[in-house]
A and B are shown apart, each in its own frame.
Chain A
Amino acid sequence: MLDDLIARLTAGDRRALARMVTLVENNDPASRAALAQLHALGGKAHIVGVTGSPGAGKSTLVMQLVRELRRRDQRVAIVAVDPTSPFTGGAILGDRIRMQDLVGDPNVYIRSMASRGSVGGLSSATRDAVRVLDAAGFDTIIIETVGAGQAEVEIVRAAQTIVVVTVPGMGDDIQALKAGILEIADCFCVNKADRPGADQAAAELRMLLSLDTQRDKDAWKPPILKTTAATGAGVPELADALGRHLAYLRESGQIVVRGERQARSEILALLYQALLAKLGATLGPAHFDQIVAAVAARQSDPYSAASVIARALGIALPSEDDATG
């Protein structure tokens, strides 16, 4: 069944593609073997993350960007992630509303995803969905995520080029950018440039960037573009900037660095899960909760508690097997 799905999706069958995304999204037991094959097939797509505050115009901008990339004869896939309600487990995924103009183009595929359990808004399911799309041969894969603290930073582990979308007149937004996101952006869009204040917002960003001394040693200087997603103005420049960034990643070897960063975080996340499962099986969640309560009540301390648990797993804390650790 899976070989058939893989053969069909690499040949351009959209239902097979959509079904494979469902399998990986649901962590379907059948999908594991497929992911190994899909991973071997991928690695060709340019993976672009688009993030920013709700309402900044990300979906509209993505729609325009895809139109521009289509003019450049690229096949494009979009993964649009919206948050799952922590209260009900449900979600309203509304990004397609802005992307209607793309429906019907056989070289564009749009998938809406809910963040489900993941803290960062960007789950392993998202990365696996991207893996499927990469194997399916899309030239560019765009991940849209709502920038909300952690999620903005998480996208680094899924994308090669990160576009941060902001809008004029959001001084607070710019302040928030300082917290982690400034560092991860490869390109800024001041969207809604049809509104007053776009030049000022761009100037503020430029000023903030100039304070980021970490950037000095990088050959890549993130461009600050003014876009009006409502009309498409500035979008060809955005497409150009993405192309330049990909060229930079390749020439500088950064593409390997980023690939390894992603691989490392994926492997560690899986191991972390396995370790949790083993812990759960060894101790039982209830016992763990007792230990937690004891530490909180100061009947025990985190070091002793962890040491006891580690020993139950047959390992030692770093400080125990290496006195210098």
Chain B
Amino acid sequence: MPDQSLDATAQTQVAAERKIRVIVAKPGLDGHDRGAKVIARALRDAGMEVIYTGIRQTPAMIVEAAIQEDADAILLSILSGAHMALFPKIMELLRAQGAEDILVVAGGILPDEDIPAIEAIGIKGNFGPGTSTQDIIAFVRANVKPERLAQPLPPLRTGGVAVDEPARGAQA
């Protein structure tokens, strides 16, 4: 049987504690995921549950994973420079599902001049290459929507119109 200690409250707390679940995704075509893996490990070490989805993710794949996993946050790690094409699509797909309560954070190589546009669509943080993982952790902790960590969780919002992009990554 499970436990050695009589501290039953501690035991049920393990289960009842609301863990932050973060999708770490690497959109775009470049195949380097070292940075993403460093962030994934740092988030794990901060006590979060990191769902690592791997490289070459399309917006539809990322959003679909976030929905299935009921993630609290999506952390996008990007190097390829395609962010201005990918990010708005991700936000649009999330909105279509009524999943705007998921925090979206971007990191990687993002030119300064693009930051206002990225923030305008609701992507937060926008951490550049020099950012310490501690800053990212603190940011995620502070910005995950409080309603997502409530116990009991509030009712689901319903989605908007479906967006008919195939989720399957159309990669050659």
Contacts and interface: CB of A to CB of B under 8 A. Distances in A.
Interface in B141-165: 151-153, 155-156, 159
What size tier do the contact residues of chain A reach?
Answer: 35 or more
A94 B57 CA distance: 14
Highest count of chain B CB atoms <10 Å: which of A110, A119, A273, A276: A276
Contact of A96 (B3, B52, B98): B52
Interface in B1-55: 1-3, 5-9, 11-12, 14-19, 40-41, 43-54
Contact of B155 (A1, A18, A269): A1
A16 B16 CA distance: 20
A18 B69 contact: yes
B153 A90 contact: no
Given A15-B99, A100-B169, A119 B2 contact: yes
Rank and list the top 3 A-B pairs by shortest CB-CB distance, nearest first.
A104-B167, A117-B14, A90-B44
Highest count of chain B CB atoms <10 Å: which of A15, A101, A110, A289: A15
A16 B51 CA distance: 19
A111 interface: yes
A117 B3 CA distance: 10
A89 interface: yes
A88 B48 CA distance: 8
Interface in A235-277: 269, 272-273, 276-277
B8 A277 contact: yes
A118 B153 contact: no
B41 to A, nearest CB: 7
Contacts of A295: none
Contact of B11 (A26, A110, A276): A276
Interface stretch (B58-66, B75-83, B125-133): B58-66
B15 A125 contact: yes
Given A22-B70, A85-B44, A91-B50, A273 B9 contact: no
Contacts of A93: 49-52
Given A15-B67, A16-B156, A276 B46 contact: no
Contact of A103 (B1, B3, B61, B152): B61
B151 A29 contact: yes
Nearest to B57: A100
